[in-house]
Amino acid sequence: MKKAAFASCLGGGAAGALVLFFLDPVHTPIYPVCAFHRLTGLDCPGCGSLRALHALLHGHPVTALHDNLLLVISLPIFAWLGFRFASSQIQGRPMETIRPIWLWLYLAAWLAFGVLRNLPFQPFASFAP
């Protein structure tokens, strides 16, 4: 059962990457619009994530960093967590837990990024997608 869930996660991720590769978020209206941005006009920490992933899939890391800096620099962390999850599933053992301090620090980084990217002066204004 766990291997089926793991395979489903991999398949879902690959399907999502294919959709994102072929359908540009800037020109394709199938993607959800950020409710926070729509309501406030401000960029949340996740704004620009789809555009950043699309740019990365097309080999444009500088554009990706401009669209969502924190997401792009977080991708190695997500890859490491995915590797840990996959190895635990393959070996049939439970995944080791992450210390809460790391989750709190990551949450604090996201919140700080969300505030800083909306400041109207440089260098923070260049973090806005």
Contacting positions for Zn ion (CB under 5 A): 34, 36-37, 44, 46-47
How near is the Cβ of 31 to Zn ion at its closest, in Å?
12
Residue 39 and residue 46 in contact, taking contact as beta carbons nearer than 8 Å: no
Q: How far apart are CA 8 and CA 1, in angstroms?
A: 11
Residue 34 or 57: which CB sits closer to Zn ion? 34
Q: Which amino acid is residue 22, in one-letter code?
A: F
Residue 47 or 52: which CB sits closer to Zn ion? 47
Q: Which sign does the torsion angle of CA 55, 59, 65, 68 carry?
A: positive
Measured at CB, which residue is nearest to Zn ion? 34
How near is the Cβ of 128 to Zn ion at its closest, in Å?
11
Residue 34 or 86: which CB sits closer to Zn ion? 34
With a CB cutoff of 8 Å and minimum separation 6, the contacts of 95 are: 84, 85, 88, 89
How near is the Cβ of 15 to Zn ion at its closest, in Å?
23
Residue 88 or 118: which CB sits closer to Zn ion? 118
User: Structure tokens of 10?
Assistant: 């991999």
How near is the Cβ of 118 to Zn ion at its closest, in Å?
11
Closest among 11, 14, 7 to 57, alpha carbons compared: 14
